[in-house]
């Protein structure tokens, strides 16, 4: 595969951008190769700057559920752009998108748009603290909620982990109010939330974890989480930045029938442009400035191009049978992949829900951070490189999700399955 232009670009990039990338995972450090630079994408195909084409299973980390460069989304952005790109004033399109989000996610009575998932979760936690007058945030080992200080806590072991900064630059004073406990563990959850020494403002959770690889929680865990937070007056925040409009029109909360107090969104609702959102009960949201005292602001929040892209994207996913077709396609793909994995000698565990999945290179169930960390990342790196050589674009980390989009046709998926089978054989030689 010719990669001269990527090599040259990466060299230039490293001179002026830390690691040559604007987000660490893109540096491909964990899969033992240098990043390829993308020129364009359409449907489920991405094309790098050297003209190499790949079937894309990263989907820009989730937003591209309908496929890349969908005409309706591109047209919406182009039409918005000719009228100007930012006004710093309210526009009609942000009201339209807000109304649509509230219609699709009934637990969201009011929503505030921001510019990233990080901003959404950071703001939701500040709101929960302001609304309850309490400080402690409970999160779960292996769940990622963006890079704001409160969340950069070293993931726990099997015990409650008092906030240990997960990154230099995050003061102990910040993370001492963040507890990270094991995902899917009802006993530790109950013990923590009932601990009277802890003034817990909120629990924030990925209702399906996508950032330790895909881990689908036991429903008993999710139900217990909702019961306890209701009983104890703790704000329950669903971080649906990945699962929102991915698992269904109403996200994981619709699929599970569990209603959070606040929901964080991102990715799909921006149609590929920078958008995040947090929303929920009006009683809580009315505490946000200018109605209430909890401050949050943003120059480009509700940007007309991003709102237009998001509106066009949501109108695509609202089409009849969009999720039904995506579910059927994903069911078939996962079943075929499981057969290949069972036939191969390579130990793998496939975790999947809807069109998001992770094939862990391990021989035991992956139900939380601790079990996810047992995966063979070296083997994943070899698999990644095999698939890249074979024209498949996977997430450059064992601990991310693979996404199927509406743009993946049977022929693309069959090619991918053949390449997976070939890669598994190579891994065992
Ligand atoms: P952003 O700030 O990256 O838009 O969103 C942060 C975030 C919040 N919550 C969840 C559940 C998320 O998955 C994310 C970001 N996801 C990662 C990939 N899993 C973004 C990719 C990257 O960091 O480059």
414 CA → ligand 1 middle, Å: 29
Number of residues in the chain: 429
Q: Please, which residues bridge with residue 280 across strands? A: 110, 262
Q: Which residues are catalytic?
A: 144, 239, 267
Say what the pTM is: 0.97
pLDDT at 159: 33
Confidence of residue 96 (pLDDT cuts 50, 70, 90): very high
How large is the average pLDDT for residues 291-302? 98
Distance CA 313, CA 116 (A): 17
**In a 3-state reduction of DSSP, which class is residue 45?**
strand
pLDDT at 165: 66
Mean pLDDT, all residues of the chain: 95
How large is the average pLDDT for residues 144-162? 70
pLDDT at 237: 99
Confidence of residue 168 (pLDDT cuts 50, 70, 90): confident
> Pseudo-torsion of CA 213, 216, 218, 220, nearest 10°?
120
User: What are the structural domains of the chain?
Assistant: 4-69+321-427 (3.90.1150.10), 71-317 (3.40.640.10)
> Does 290 sit behind a cis peptide bond, omega within 30 degrees of 0 on the bond before it?
yes
C-beta of residue 76 within 8 angstroms of C-beta of residue 311: yes
- What share of the chain has pLDDT > 90, as a percent? 93
Q: Would the pLDDT of 189 be above 80? A: yes
147 CA → ligand 1 middle, Å: 8
Please name the residues in contact with 172: beta carbons below 8 A apart, sequence gap of 6 or more: 163, 165
- Do strands 161-162 and 235-239 pair parallel, antiparallel, or not at all (unpaired)? unpaired
pLDDT in tens, 108-132: 999 999 999 999 999 999 999 999 9
Distance CA 116, CA 123 (A): 11
How large is the average pLDDT for residues 220-241? 98
Residue 308 CB–ligand 1 contact under 6 Å:
no
Residue 263 CB–ligand 1 contact under 6 Å:
no
pLDDT at 157: 38
pLDDT in tens, 305-351: 999 999 999 999 999 999 999 999 999 999 999 999 999 888 999 99
Residue 61 CB–ligand 1 contact under 6 Å:
yes
Atom from ligand 1 closest to the CA of residue 276 = 4
Helical axes 92-104 vs 304-317, angle rounded to 10°: 30
Please name the residue whose Cα sits nearest to atom 13 of ligand 1: 242
pLDDT at 153: 85
145 CA → ligand 1 middle, Å: 7
pLDDT in tens, 2-16: 999 999 999 999 999
Q: Would the pLDDT of 31 be above 80? A: yes
pLDDT at 155: 59
200 CA → ligand 1 middle, Å: 24
Distance CA 315, CA 307 (A): 12
Structure tokens at 56: 């894309």
Please name the residue whose Cα sits nearest to atom 7 of ligand 1: 146
pLDDT at 285: 98
- Of 268, 261, 290, 236, which is closest to residue 355 (Cα–Cα)? 268
Q: Would the pLDDT of 276 be above 50? A: yes
Q: Among the listed ranges 166-175, 186-195, 390-399, which one has the minimum average pLDDT value?
A: 166-175
Residue 400 CB–ligand 1 contact under 6 Å:
yes
Distance CA 409, CA 247 (A): 19
Confidence of residue 161 (pLDDT cuts 50, 70, 90): very low
Residue 211 CB–ligand 1 contact under 6 Å:
yes
Q: Would the pLDDT of 249 be above 60? A: yes
Residue 239 CB–ligand 1 contact under 6 Å:
yes
Radius of gyration of the chain from Cα atoms? 21
If 0-12 CB within 10 Å is exposed, 13-18 middle and 19+ buried, where does residue 338 land?
Answer: middle
Confidence of residue 163 (pLDDT cuts 50, 70, 90): low
Distance CA 117, CA 302 (A): 14
């Amino acid at each position: 595969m010719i990669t001269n232009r990527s090599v040259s670009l990466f060299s230039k990039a490293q001179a002026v951008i830390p690691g040559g990338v604007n987000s660490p995972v893109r540096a491909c450090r964990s899969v033992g190769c240098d990043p390829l630079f993308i020129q364009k994408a359409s449907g489920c195909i991405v094309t790098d700057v050297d003209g190499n084409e790949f079937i894309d299973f990263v989907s820009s980390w989730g937003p591209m559920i309908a496929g890349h460069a969908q005409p309706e989304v591109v047209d919406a952005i182009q039409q918005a752009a000719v009228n100007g790109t930012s006004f710093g004033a309210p526009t009609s399109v942000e009201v339209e998108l807000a109304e649509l989000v509230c219609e699709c996610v009934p637990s969201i009575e009011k929503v505030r748009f921001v510019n990233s998932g990080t901003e959404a979760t950071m703001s939701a936690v500040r709101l929960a603290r302001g609304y309850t007058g309490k400080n402690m945030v409970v999160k779960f080992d292996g769940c990622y909620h963006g890079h704001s200080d409160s969340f950069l806590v070293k993931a726990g072991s099997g015990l409650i982990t008092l906030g240990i900064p997960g990154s230099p630059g995050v003061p102990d004073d910040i993370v001492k109010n963040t507890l990270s406990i094991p995902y899917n563990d009802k006993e530790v959850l109950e013990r923590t939330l009932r601990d009277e020494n802890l003034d817990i403002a909120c629990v924030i959770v990925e209702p399906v974890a996508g950032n330790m690889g895909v881990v689908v929680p036991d429903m008993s865990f999710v139900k217990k989480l909702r019961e306890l937070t209701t009983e104890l007056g703790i704000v329950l925040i669903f971080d649906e930045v990945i699962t929102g409009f991915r698992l269904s029109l109403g996200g994981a909360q619709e699929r599970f029938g569990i209603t959070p107090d606040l929901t964080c969104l991102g990715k799909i609702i921006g149609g590929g442009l920078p958008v995040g959102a947090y929303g929920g009960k009006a009683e809580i949201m009315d505490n946000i400035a200018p109605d209430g005292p909890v401050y949050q602001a943003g120059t480009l929040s509700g940007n007309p191009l991003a709102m237009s892209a998001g509106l066009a994207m949501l109108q695509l996913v609202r089409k009849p049978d969009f999720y039904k077709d995506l579910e059927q396609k994903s069911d078939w793909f996962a079943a075929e992949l499981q057969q290949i994995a069972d036939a191969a000698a390579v130990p793998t565990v496939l975790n999947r829900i809807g069109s998001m999945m992770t094939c862990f290179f391990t021989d035991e169930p992956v139900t939380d951070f601790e079990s996810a960390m047992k995966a063979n990342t070296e083997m994943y790196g070899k698999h990644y490189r095999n698939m890249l050589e074979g024209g498949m674009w996977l997430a450059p980390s064992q601990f991310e999700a693979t996404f199927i989009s509406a743009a993946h046709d049977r022929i693309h998926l069959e090619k991918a399955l053949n390449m997976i089978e070939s890669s598994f054989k190579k891994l065992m030689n």
